[in-house]
Structure formats: structure tokens, C-alpha cells
Amino acid sequence: MLNAPLPGTLDVRKAASRGVTVQGSLQPRDLPRFRELLAGDDGEIQASLDLYRDEEGRFVLHIVIEARVSVTCQRCLRPMPLSLRSDSELAVVWTDEQARHLPSHLDPLVQGEEECDLRALVTEELILALPAFSYHEQADCNTLLAEYAAPTEAEKEADDGAEKRPNPFDILAQLKRGDTHQE
């Protein structure tokens, strides 16, 4: 487990030319866009970036991210732990035109002359790694949902003592059958 924080920015072309490896850890609160998708600030994110030049001279960034975070279960709406893993090969390019000509195994990282924001890159990779929907195990959610579904004693007593109100659609049923009395 890494304890050193991930640097904020890096000149990925220079780092790839030198064959640099950058590793670091982050907290969900360090990534505001990703944090919005979580149930809380607890968790840890580990990132490892290997930068190198491939045999065709492209600047390549191999990024591996492992995260343990808390998300909201879409069935019971309670927090649940989630482990994420992202493993991507990115080719650093200057333009969208260069990105179109990359081989299929490389995703483009369009980077101008400025340094690359590593936290923004980690954020994008984590958002892509999130499942569309997160759920507890069925048995866990069923136990929690049963608490909400079962009426309380007070609700049962209120239902038993309540007068039965007429159904407003009964009049429509009478009209359909022709049972109405004209006065």
C-alpha cells in the first residue's frame, strides 16, 4: 500500500522519454467530481502510472488504479463498499486527428503543451470504472427492505379502525353498465 500522495501534474512526454513510473495514493475527497458519485468520503485510491515510448515512438502511459470506496446501493439506498480496478493504456497525442490514427489497443490522451493533470486523469478512469448500478447482495437488501415493507402495529390498528371510503371509480363502473338513475 502506497502512502505518498500522487503528484498533481506531470509532463507526460518528458516522463515517457525517461521511462518514469509514478505511484501515489489519494482520498475520494481529493477528487471532487468522483466524490459526487460516492456515498461518503471514506476509502482509498491507489494509482500507478508507467510512462514509456513504444516501438513506434509513441508516448504511452499505462495507468492502473485500485480503489476501495463507498457507494449507494440502488436497491436499499444505504451505503455499501465497492472495490474498483482500472487498467488502461493511453497514447499521448497532441490533436484529435492523431487520436483517430491510434491502434485499437491504445486510448488517446489528447494533451496540449501544458502538463497533464494526473488527478483529473485518475478521476476520469475511476468514473469509467464505476458500474452503472451498485447493489448489495440480494439477501442483505431483502433484510433491510423488509423493515420498510412491514407495516407497524400503529399502522395496522389505524387501517383496522378506519372507515371504508367509497371508491371514486365506482361511479364510472355504473355509467359503463348503464346503472345510473336519471332524475
Alpha helices in the chain (DSSP H): 12-18, 32-35, 96-100, 118-129, 138-149, 153-161, 170-177
Task: Inform me whether the pLDDT recorded for 34 exceeds 90.
Answer: yes
Confidence band for 176, pLDDT divided at 50, 70 and 90: confident
Least reliable range by pLDDT among 57-61, 104-108, 160-164: 160-164
Residue 95 in domain: yes
Q: Is residue 79 assigned to a domain?
A: yes
What is the pLDDT, as a whole number, of residue 1?
Answer: 47
Question: Which of residues 134 and 2 earns the better pLDDT score?
Answer: 134
Query: Structural domain tally of the chain?
Result: 1
Q: Looking at the domain assignment, is residue 122 inside a domain?
A: yes
Neighbours of 125 (CB within 10 A): 21
pTM: 0.74
Residue 83 belongs to a domain: yes
Higher pLDDT, residue 167 or 123:
123
Which residue range forms the structural domain that includes residue 44?
Answer: 9-138
Residue 147 lies in a domain: no
Does 174 have pLDDT greater than 90?
no
Cell triple for 131: 458500474
Range from 31-40, 59-68, 69-78, 157-166 carrying the lowest mean pLDDT: 157-166
